């Protein structure tokens, strides 16, 4: 390859880099607001065609912000929020806007205290002034001056887009980019990080499901089969017993970890209760704990109470197996609910 061709290719690559960089910058910094408002910093948010503009006043601890979303229509609502207590939806202090049936823009505040919120109007935990909204073509914008909580310059943010029906915000999509619209923003340095709080919650669900599938769905049945089919062979005694105890003890330990993650998910999911799955899980934990303590009270083979102990041990054991299978399938059904939207609380989640 001669020098002139190399130079030509280098020049083309340099031009492409410049154009791509300019294109990214133009997405927010080259935009001019109709009110001639100018902001000192702007950023392209990672999803939902959204952009955030702000000017930070360190002496007052306030941020003059503009939130812009493109590719929306008059049948959409948009929202941007600061979450002073968490990284996702719950606790988010939101600025919401949509165009009502009269054609006027409606901008208001909404404090999200439940996953079943309908984004009703309510005051926030910090002050907001000069709140307004504007619709321009396929773009919707929210303007406000926000008093940053505790004068913090770095805060967790959430943003969202959803449909409007009868002048009321409806549930947004429960998949794709709508589950990734979370992160943090530093109003002083301009650093923006995207995290996706809903994705983190989904990972916790997956961990909960895997732990319980390994415990109740795998180790526990294997331990039962070892006791049921190996002890008939004299050569396997007492090896079968120690294998049985190892499997059941391991299943219980892993099951306790899965139960704990379920409790954590429940405490983080206000307004969402899977009654059958929760009640069966509590029953499983209690029955399995009784089985563990029963090991300490196990009579010798020739003891007069050994027969009654065997009845108790087998009854509780098989009950645990049946309940665990039922609850695993209920858990798998729950994991598919956000995508299928089958008539459950998850299908009516907002923000």
Residues making up the annotated binding site for heme b are 208, 244, 277, 313
Q: Per the structure block, which two tokens stand in for 223? A: 């331990």
Q: CA–CA separation, 144 vs 111, rounded Å? A: 16
CA–CA dist 110, 63 (Å, integer) = 18
Radius of gyration of the chain (CA): 29
For 91, 220, 227, 252, 254, the CA distances from 320, given in Å and listed in that order, are 38, 9, 15, 11, 15
Within 8 A by CB and 6+ apart from 253, the residues are none
H/E run at residue 224: helix 220-229
Query: Where is the binding site, in residues?
Result: 208, 244, 277, 313
Distance of CA 124 to the CA centre of its chain: 22
Q: At 112, phi and psi to the nearest 5?
A: -90, 110
Residue 268 CB partners (closer than 8 Å, separation 6+): 90, 201, 204
Angle at alpha carbon of residue 192, lines to 173 and 202, rounded to 5°: 40
Structure tokens at 9: 């290719």
């Amino acid at each position: 390859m001669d020098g002139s061709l190399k130079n030509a290719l280098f020049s083309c690559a340099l031009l492409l880099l410049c154009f791509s960089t300019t294109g990214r910058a133009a997405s927010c910094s080259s935009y001019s607001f109709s009110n001639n408002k100018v902001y000192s910093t702007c950023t392209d948010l990672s999803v939902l065609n959204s952009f955030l503009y702000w000017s930070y006043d360190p002496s007052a601890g306030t941020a003059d912000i503009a939130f812009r979303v493109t590719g929306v229509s008059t049948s959409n609502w948009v929202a941007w929020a600061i979450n002073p207590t968490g990284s996702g939806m719950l606790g988010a202090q939101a600025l919401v806007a949509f165009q009502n049936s009269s054609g006027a823009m409606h901008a208001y505040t909404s404090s999200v205290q439940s996953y079943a919120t309908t984004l009703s109007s309510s005051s926030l935990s910090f002050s907001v002034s000069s709140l307004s909204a504007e619709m321009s073509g396929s773009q919707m914008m929210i303007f406000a001056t926000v008093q940053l909580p505790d004068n913090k310059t770095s805060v967790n943010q959430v943003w969202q887009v959803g449909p409007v029906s009868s002048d009321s915000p409806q549930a947004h999509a429960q998949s794709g980019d709508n589950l990734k619209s979370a992160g943090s923003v530093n109003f002083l340095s301009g650093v923006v990080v995207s995290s996706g709080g809903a994705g983190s919650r989904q990972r916790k669900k997956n961990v909960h499901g895997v732990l319980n599938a390994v415990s109740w769905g795998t180790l526990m049945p294997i331990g039962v089969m070892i006791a049921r089919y190996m002890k008939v062979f004299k050569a396997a005694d007492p090896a079968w017993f120690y294998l049985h105890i190892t499997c059941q003890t391991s299943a219980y330990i892993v099951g306790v970890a899965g139960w704990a993650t379920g409790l954590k998910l429940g405490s983080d999911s206000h307004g969402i209760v899977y009654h059958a799955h929760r009640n069966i899980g509590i029953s499983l934990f209690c029955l399995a704990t009784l089985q563990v303590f029963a090991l300490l009270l196990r009579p010798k083979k020739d003891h007069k109470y050994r027969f009654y102990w065997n009845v108790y041990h087998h009854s509780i054991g098989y009950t645990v197996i049946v309940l665990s299978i039922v609850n695993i399938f209920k858990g798998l059904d729950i994991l598919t609910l956000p995508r299928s939207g089958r008539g459950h609380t998850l299908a009516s989640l907002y923000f």
